[in-house]
Amino acid sequence: MFEHSPLAEELIKRDLAHVWHPCTQMKDHQQIPIIPIAKGEGIWLQDVDGNKYIDAISSWWVNIFGHANKTISAAIKKQADTLEHVLLAGFSHQPVIDLSEQLVELTPDPLQRCFYADNGSSAIEVALKMSFHYWKNIGKENKQKFVTLKNSYHGETIGALSVGDVELYKDTYQPLLMDVLAVPGADSFNMEEGEDTEEYVTRMFAPMEEVLQQQHDTICAVVVEPLVQCAGYMRMYDARYLSLLRQACDRYNVHLIADEIAVGFGRSGTMFACEQANISPDFMCLSKGLTGGYLPLSVVLTTNQVYDAFYDDYTTLKAFLHSHSYTGNPLACAAALATLGIFHREDTINRNQNLINKIKAESERFEGHPNIGHIRQTGMIFAIEMVKDRRTREPYPWQERRGLKAYQHALNNHVLLRPLGNVLYFMPPYVIEPDQIELVLEVMEEAVQAAIIDD
Ligand SMILES: *Cc1c(COP(=O)(O)O)cnc(C)c1O
């Protein structure tokens, strides 16, 4: 780590006196200093001592057009001087109207209705409740269960945690959670050597088919993260699985909830990951990149068919009486509109192809490495999995915290990577330059070397 100035020392001390950090064993900070950041610019974060770090994970996957982006900042400033917030029940405002029109335009045709919340987990809660409530409103009261994929992640609130399947976050709270049906998916990591992808996907779809076939009368919806299970160690699967899933959901009269909170807005290479399977879900949850990484906002898009099942006289009590204080906040909507404006003006999805190809080319440095068990990429998401032995894929014991060593090595080399266990991944803001991609993957390679040394 870098030397600290008295200012940094002071901030660190004051932070640790009162701030409880997310997803952190606070005791780790006895050894590993917290890093007070003073400012950001583009892909760079700068700490209070002037040390700079490339934000190679987009500050937990939210940032897409760089820190302190002039366009987005200006839009928020303008909105702040006009209308900072108004409740969205009984009232409206132009930013939320414009944003809803644009989201409906961008997403597949059947998605026509936008319900807002203020973070990803809350969007999942909305989708779960809406699906359940839809079936109740149309008289199918037995439909109460949700199906999810193994190793999936949908957030941290109790409902969202229930439909997730990452042990590390979930196990402790098990007694509080609702029962869900967790089915293995078509994780590319588990594909047999030489197996054809189509055959593999078909084979791995069987358990899903079976659950839906046998229990569809009691199932509301299947919840999935299309193409990439980001918090689930960046595991990836083929788009054909989603096509099969859409067909099966139609056949068995079950909703499909697409959690595009992480993969939406170009992360998967297309604007939305569902496009790669040419499907439309019944509910699409969006957040993270929605505001360019500026402000918390989330939205659930759904169909007129769902909407209409709630639309009736008040006294039928069919309305969706769910709300959050900051639902549809105008500042966040202004940030989202500025973000979508950049996508449009700069033709970001097509322009990113160059970056995607560069990542692919640079990833070759990891081929055949004795301690890398799997290399994978979907669009702007790249990941490698460190193992004890490439051939057997024996994992490193989690207690050895190899990922943490990689994290520290990368920070010392001015790159912010924050591995998930033994998985190192790269998920940069789209304003990164090709030579900066090269630099980051070089540092990532050195970070692997630092992590695999036994001490
Ligand atoms: C981050 C994430 C969530 C939760 O969003 P929060 O804003 O952190 O509550 C849900 N689903 C996926 C796929 C995510 O990556």
At 7-41, the pLDDT tens digits run: 999 999 999 999 999 999 999 999 999 999 999 99
Residues 390 and 360 placed together within one structural domain of the fold: yes
Residues 80 and 130 placed together within one structural domain of the fold: yes
Which ligand 1 atom is nearest residue 120's CA? Answer: 5
**pLDDT for 455 beyond 80:** no
What confidence tens digit (pLDDT) does each residue in 174-184 have? Answer: 999 999 999 99
Which residue, judged by its Cα, is nearest atom 15 of ligand 1? 262
Give distance in angstroms: CA of 330 to centre of ligand 1: 21
Q: Is 223 in the pocket of ligand 1 (CB under 6 A)?
A: no
- Asked whether residue 421 is assigned to any structural domain, the reply reads yes
What confidence tens digit (pLDDT) does each residue in 389-412 have? Answer: 999 999 999 999 999 999 999 999
- Asked whether residue 133 is assigned to any structural domain, the reply reads yes
Which residue, judged by its Cα, is nearest atom 7 of ligand 1? 120
- Asked whether residue 1 is assigned to any structural domain, the reply reads no
Give distance in angstroms: CA of 185 to centre of ligand 1: 19
**Arithmetic mean of pLDDT, 226-241:** 98
**pLDDT for 1 beyond 90:** no
**Arithmetic mean of pLDDT, 219-246:** 98
What confidence tens digit (pLDDT) does each residue in 248-296 have? Answer: 999 999 999 999 999 999 999 999 999 999 999 999 999 999 999 999 9
Pocket test for ligand 1, best of 61, 125, 153 (most atoms within 8 A of CB): 153
The pTM of this model reads 0.98
Residues 62 and 128 placed together within one structural domain of the fold: no
Residue 167 binned pLDDT confidence (cut-offs 50, 70, 90): confident
Residue 225: which region, alpha, beta or left (left: phi > 0; alpha: psi -120 to 50)? Answer: beta
**pLDDT for 188 beyond 80:** yes
**Arithmetic mean of pLDDT, 225-246:** 98
Q: Which domain holds residue 333?
A: 73-346
pLDDT (0 to 100) of residue 438 = 98
CATH code at position 168: 3.40.640.10
**Arithmetic mean of pLDDT, 334-353:** 98
Give distance in angstroms: CA of 262 to centre of ligand 1: 7
Which residue, judged by its Cα, is nearest atom 11 of ligand 1? 154
Domain count, the chain: 2
**Arithmetic mean of pLDDT, 333-344:** 98
Residues 226 and 374 placed together within one structural domain of the fold: no
Which of the listed residues 298, 318, 346 is the one where a domain comes to its end?
A: 346
**Arithmetic mean of pLDDT, 163-170:** 92
Residues 47 and 196 placed together within one structural domain of the fold: no
Residues 140 and 251 placed together within one structural domain of the fold: yes
The structure tokens listed for 115 are 């319900």
Which ligand 1 atom is nearest residue 298's CA? Answer: 7
Give distance in angstroms: CA of 164 to centre of ligand 1: 10
Residues 336 and 305 placed together within one structural domain of the fold: yes
**Arithmetic mean of pLDDT, 150-172:** 95
- Asked whether residue 327 is assigned to any structural domain, the reply reads yes
Give distance in angstroms: CA of 195 to centre of ligand 1: 32
pLDDT (0 to 100) of residue 24 = 95
Which residue would you say has higher pLDDT here, 2 or 29? 29
Pocket test for ligand 1, best of 261, 272, 290, 297 (most atoms within 8 A of CB): 261
Residue 244 binned pLDDT confidence (cut-offs 50, 70, 90): very high
Residues 54 and 135 placed together within one structural domain of the fold: no
CATH code at position 55: 3.90.1150.10
Give distance in angstroms: CA of 286 to centre of ligand 1: 9
Which residue, judged by its Cα, is nearest atom 3 of ligand 1? 155
Give distance in angstroms: CA of 265 to centre of ligand 1: 14
Which of the listed residues 331, 346, 361 is the one where a domain comes to its end?
A: 346
- Asked whether residue 35 is assigned to any structural domain, the reply reads yes
Residues 168 and 239 placed together within one structural domain of the fold: yes
Which ligand 1 atom is nearest residue 160's CA? Answer: 10
pLDDT (0 to 100) of residue 348 = 98
Residues 257 and 367 placed together within one structural domain of the fold: no
Residues 38 and 109 placed together within one structural domain of the fold: no
Give distance in angstroms: CA of 13 to centre of ligand 1: 30
Q: Is 374 in the pocket of ligand 1 (CB under 6 A)?
A: no
pLDDT (0 to 100) of residue 2 = 84
Mean pLDDT rounded to a whole number for the chain: 97
Give distance in angstroms: CA of 155 to centre of ligand 1: 5
Residues 353 and 335 placed together within one structural domain of the fold: no
- Asked whether residue 212 is assigned to any structural domain, the reply reads yes
Pocket test for ligand 1, best of 60, 151, 154 (most atoms within 8 A of CB): 154
Which of the listed residues 346, 362, 395 is the one where a domain comes to its end?
A: 346
Which residue, judged by its Cα, is nearest atom 10 of ligand 1? 154
- Asked whether residue 424 is assigned to any structural domain, the reply reads yes
- Asked whether residue 53 is assigned to any structural domain, the reply reads yes
Which residue would you say has higher pLDDT here, 2 or 208? 208
